[in-house]
Amino acid sequence: MRKSIIAAAFASLAILPAAASGAEEPPHVDYSFAGVFGTFDPVQLQRGFQVYKEVCAACHSLKFVAFRNLGDAGGPHFTEAEVKALAAGYDVAAIDNETGEATTRKGLPSDHIPAPFPNEIAAKAANNGSAPPDLSLMAKAREGNASYIHAILTGYDHPVPEGVQVPEGGNYNPYFPGGVIAMPKPLSDGQVEYADASVPRTVDQYAKDVSAFLMWTAEPKMEVRKRVGFGAILFLGALSVLLYLSYRRVWRNVDH
């Protein structure tokens, strides 16, 4: 009896994640940052930022990222001049020094990337009642991480299965929990002009690049974490060898 309860508990655990979310597993993507030694590809992150800026930024904020972060090593690694120029391309809210009235000024590297909507109500009103969430930490907030975002962005062209009702303003996407997402298909082939003509201008490539970029925004210190982790393992390994050898030496004349 007890055995069957335990078995049932395990069985329900095994099917729970899939059953509860009702979403399909994201297909595997070969990211440069996968694995213990994986690192971000700065050129890919730069393309990913371009996709965010030209497409996603119309609806999604990226409030934890300051322009100067885009110059960090272990990230997109734009040059200082590029960061300055990028920031200056945005208008940010400011106060007029003489009249005290609200105005705008050109962005500085220390500014955070401005949000597309002034508040949640405006964001909802412009998007059929569903506010587009901030994307800064999204990649770490979802199971599947970057590949989940890639799957969502490439998951729009599936036929709607029988029995699924897609309401007005909704879109079928099997990777989104529940299968119906309020975000309209955001990417199409050829939409973003990459400076490097050898990089395919496809939805799949855009999705890979922007999801890699969003993985970096969610964990900007990933490379440091991996380096430190590996160093710690090496150190502990060397320490174990030393300890074992000294144990042998200390006890060499003692019967035991």
Q: How far is the CB of 137 from ligand HEC (least distance, A)?
A: 11
- Kindly tell me which of 70 and 210 has the beta carbon lying closer to ligand HEC: 210
* Torsion-angle region of 175 (φ positive above 0: left; ψ -120 to 50: alpha; else: beta): alpha
Q: How far is the CB of 142 from ligand HEC (least distance, A)?
A: 5
CB nearer to ligand HEC: give 101 or 193: 193
Choose between 58 and 73: whose C-beta lies nearer to ligand HEC.
Answer: 58
CB of 119 to ligand HEC, least distance (A): 15
- State which residue, 29 or 210, has the beta carbon closest to ligand HEC: 210
Report the C-alpha gap between 104 and 91 in whole angstroms.
Answer: 6
Which of residues 83 and 192 has its CB atom nearest to ligand HEC in the complex?
Answer: 192
218 Cβ partners below 8 Å, 6+ apart?
136, 137, 138, 139, 140, 141, 145
Q: Which residue is nearest to ligand HEC (CB)?
A: 56
Minimum gap (Å) between residue 117 Cβ and ligand HEC? 10
Strands 102-106, 91-95: pairing is antiparallel
Closest distance to ligand HEC from the beta carbon of 211 (Å): 7
CB of residue 69 to ligand HEC, shortest distance in Å? 18
Residue type, 119: N
> Based on CB atoms, which residue is closest to ligand HEC, 184 or 200?
184
φ/ψ of 173, rounded to 5, equals: -150, 110
- Minimal distance, residue 232 CB to ligand HEC, in Å: 33
84 vs 156, beta carbon nearer ligand HEC? 156
CA–CA distance, 163 with 19 (Å, rounded to integer): 16
Positions touching ligand HEC (CB under 6 A) are 51, 55-56, 58-60, 127, 130, 132-133, 135, 138, 142, 149, 152-153, 181-184, 186-187, 210
